[in-house]
Structure 1
Amino acid sequence: MNVLLSRLDEQQRRWFVALEAQRFGWGGASLMAKITGLSRPTIQRGQRELAAGLAQCSTERVRAPGGGRPPREAQDPELLTALEALLAPETAGDPMGRRAKAKRSSLQQLSDALSAAGHPVSRTTVARLLRQLGYSPKVNARRAEARSSPAERDAQFQHIAEQRAQFAAAGDPIISVDTKKKGAGR
């Protein structure tokens, strides 16, 4: 029975189990709930729909329109702006735009910072928003290297961020240069 139920949509599953529960008579809904894992209220809803001749049930949609929770950015229109503001000083990536942009903060750090700023959001939502903004949700591979670097490294990033802000305010171009270290003997 459960193999058959796995092939049916929500309505069909509810109606089939409701028919079987009616066939058992008193206690049938409880028995079918144990067998199938459907809740008794779901089975009873199916019984009511069958008793009404399925008159209120749509033949085109399985679920009612407008169901589900709206996305977090629809609930909080300033969320994307706040996330972009957090990412601005730490964004790195391909200047030609061929690959996703990278960031230094983890999903948890971004989630915590947004929550502290009055925009409560989960890590999975942050990951989805990062993909939407063209970022890789994964932590930059150089993050471990940045942790073991001296404390002056953060000061360097702050200085670069200030310089970028000054150039942007003056309308001057900002050039990003990505260099690679070459090991000895190469």
Structure 2
Amino acid sequence: MATGIREARAEDAPRVARIYVDSWNSGFGDLMGTVGLDDDRIRRWENDLTSGRTRWWVAETTTGRIVGMVGVGPSRDPVDPHLGELDTIAVDPTYWRGGVGSALMRTALASLAESGYREAVLWTVAGYTRGQAFYEATGWRRDGGTRDDGRQLSFRHSLRGVEVNVDVNPGKP
């Protein structure tokens, strides 16, 4: 189980990319096709983790192994200054149902609330029942939005009353 959450750093990119690929393939590879891990994907993740558009965290075990990640930022679809977005949340499949995703979600929601957003949106794959059940268990509700010819569904989460004092290690080197 993860024992700490800290801000992500550029050097986390190889492990973050691996978690993303493994989580994607295990979670909805059968719905969207599987993806692979290569140098280009790792470089894209390094850029994403450091670009500043999205704020990223990783969950670590006591031995320093990264086992999950989450990113939040301003909503991209729809564009709305009062709407934040859960960009990505992914956990190493061997750590599913161990509390890692819930801890990352609390961090994400707290950050969105602290940033002044009133509500948050996320997009997920239609038919991804495991993920949808997780989102609903953490307070997200379907809002009826779709995109990509119905292959993606949107969920919303009110940020009113979300606790913003989540203890997060800033991960300073």
Flag whether TM exceeds 0.5 (same fold): no
Q: What TM-score, normalized to structure 2?
A: 0.28
User: Who wins on radius of gyration, i.e. which is larger?
Assistant: 1
